Structure 1
Amino acid sequence: MSSTIWLLIIGAVAGWLAGQFVRGHGFGIWVDMIVGVVGAFIGSYLLAAIGIGTYGLIGELIASFVGAVILVSIIRMFSGNPARDKT
């Protein structure tokens, strides 16, 4: 039970960070949380596939962030919705 709660918290933080990192804005708190949780799985899988282990809270946050950035980039590439803050 507590690991699920931690996964959601880490995913929410990673999703928000990824939304801020990729083109300066997110999709909204709820979508950022979903992207972060899915990104946690993607990031953990990809880092494990290349031989990088993630341990502890910081390691999981980094893996989640990496996965969320990849997922946000892919979503924006196919959504046709460019960043709102272009100048």
Structure 2
Amino acid sequence: MSVVFLVIIGAAAGFLATRFMKVETGVLQTVGIGIAGALIGGLVLRFIVSVLGAFAGLVGAVLGAMLLIYIWKSYTGR
């Protein structure tokens, strides 16, 4: 991601965040808040997705194993 794109996204995020939180800041502070928020939010979201991704993999594996046992029991008559 280019620096220009990061600054544009940071400015937009900072603008929205300062309006939602009803904070009056200058342009540089708004952009700084947006860029810092994007970094923090990005790290938190990546962590959550990785944890939930691993958990989803475990759930999928258990469900797949249960399906395999069901099919095995259905065909063997046990």
Q: Which bracket does the TM-score occupy, shorter chain normalised?
A: 0.5 to 0.7
Q: Percent same amino acid at aligned positions?
A: 38
The number of aligned residues is 50
- The structure showing larger relative contact order (alpha-carbon pairs under 8 Å, at least 6 residues apart) is 1
Cα distance in 1 for partners of 2:41, 2:26 equals 21
1:59 match: none
Gaps of 5+ in 1: 53-87
- Which protein is richer in helix relative to its size? 2
TM-score, normalised to structure 1's length?
0.52
Runs of 4+ in 1 over 2 A off after TM superposition: none
Between Structure 1 and Structure 2, whose CA radius of gyration is higher?
2
- Please say if 1:40 is aligned against 2:20: no
Give distance in 2, aligned partners of 1:26 and 1:34: 14
Question: What's the TM-score, normalizing by structure 2?
Answer: 0.58
In structure 2, the partner of 1:27 is 25
